[in-house]
Amino acid sequence: MTPEEYERWMIRDCARCGRRASKSAEWSDGPICRTCYERAMRVRGCCPGCRADRLLPGRDTAGTPICRDCAGIVRDFFCDRCGFEGLLLGGRLCERCTLADTLTRLLDDGTGNVTPPLKPLFTAVLEMDRPKSRLIWLRNPNVVRLLQGLATGSIPLTHEGLHQETPWRTVAHLRDLLMDSGVLPRIDRQLMLYQRWLNERLAVIEDPEHRRHLQHFATWHQMRRLRSKAEKGPLGRSQTNQTKQEITQAGGFLAWLADRGHTIEHCRQADLDAWHTEKLATRRPAQTFLRWCMKTGRMPRLALPSQVVNQDQAPLHQHRRLAVLRRALNDDSLPLRARIAAALVLLYAQPVTRIVRLTVDDVIDDGTTVTVRLGDPPSPLPEPVADLMRAYVQSCQHLPYASSRSSQWLFPGRQPGQPMNPVSLQAHLREIGVPPQHGRTSAIRQLVLQAPAPVIAKGCSSGSGRSVGQTVS
């Protein structure tokens, strides 16, 4: 067949999307391109023609999805192994059977079977939604190398063994899967990533004394603090980012001090003053290291400059807080997540760091009253906050989780199984005109004064109309 004949035969206008592309099928409604073919393979439901609950790849004259029998499609789409009706891949196997074969091959211990320690991982990956995305993931050469290494034992099946592997993003995702499936004990993801960053950071420090001081500071101060926090709940990226800044600025101080001809043991007050003279805000993270050095006798006890507060900390006036609260609750164009967070800040004076730690289970709905566990006992949510919370919780239940299917954070973050970064939530609040710190300070002042609950009914003016509910206490 000549190229011209091939184009006339295979390159057609798709009957569904109208795009000119290679034909993947010729069905009753005309030629179908590959994109529309795969989209049709994911439409399931009750066929309006025969009332059967099955795959609906065809279309009737009105464009309604119907089954292959009612559409007159001769080809069947049943998997030759499990009988599932859907998209078929090589060997007329469905995506899940193909995924099982691919995983078996990669996790083979040399006997043709999945190595026993990795069977929970095999089961967990196979049970995930969207098997096609898992198949795409398994095409990554780094994923293939890591899985085969773990299966054959060339890579130890431990956190320490994975710690030595690269690239770190691929390793981090695989580690999450291994922890979720119970193959590896659970450790805090942010703590693990910080340890990896610390090793890489210390490796580029040439002065052995500087490296030793920073290693001791990280081991005996930072890691103790981070592990203690991780025991109470997952660490956020903001916490480890601050810890990285402490190491970076501490290393910068040691190098700067060496350029002045001094060591940390012989640091003088004039040195500290000169260090803080320029770029005070940037160099401030080094103070944690300096205090630790003074406490442990590694440097003389000197005076550190006091913190300079540049931001106006005056709270919102009451009428302004009510106006901001009304807009957050009544403006349907705003993101629902930000509206819920704004209500918790402006009504209950909750800090953003506490809000991101709430889980879906902290919201209790008995059909009449919605309460949230902000303390003991749970606090009731007045209308319309309760209706917003119901809608938000329902939306959270439909979020796709790639590697942490059990994640129940009320404000989930970008990383699977992790809560939202408080800094990100603060940014969302500011985008809708809610200043988190000022709003919380204003709410605290009103709670202390035991003022009546604000009026936030849609369309009413300040000081009149329907009340939110009882006084928040």
How does 367-387 read in b/e, with b if 16+ C-beta sit within 10 Å?
eeebbbebeeeebebbebbbe
Residue 287's nearest CA partner among 304, 299, 268, 311 is 304
Q: Is 327 exposed, middle or buried (0-12, 13-18, 19+ CB in 10 A)?
A: middle
The position carrying tokens 């705003």 is 334
Q: How far apart are CA 34 and CA 43, in angstroms?
A: 15
**∠ CA(66), CA(70), CA(76), 5° rounding?**
90
Q: How far apart are CA 227 and CA 240, in angstroms?
A: 11
Q: Output the pLDDT for position 32.
A: 93
Q: Output the pLDDT for position 277.
A: 80
Structure tokens at 202: 């210390």
Run of H or E including 454:
none
Q: Output the pLDDT for position 460.
A: 41
Please list the rounded mean pLDDT of every run of 10 residues in the chain (473 residues): 61 90 90 93 94 95 94 94 94 95 94 93 92 93 96 92 87 92 90 88 94 95 92 85 93 94 93 81 86 95 68 65 86 88 89 89 87 87 88 71 56 78 84 83 72 43 37 35
Q: How far apart are CA 250 and CA 292, in angstroms?
A: 11
Residue 238's nearest CA partner among 423, 17, 63 is 423
Q: pTM for the whole thing? A: 0.55
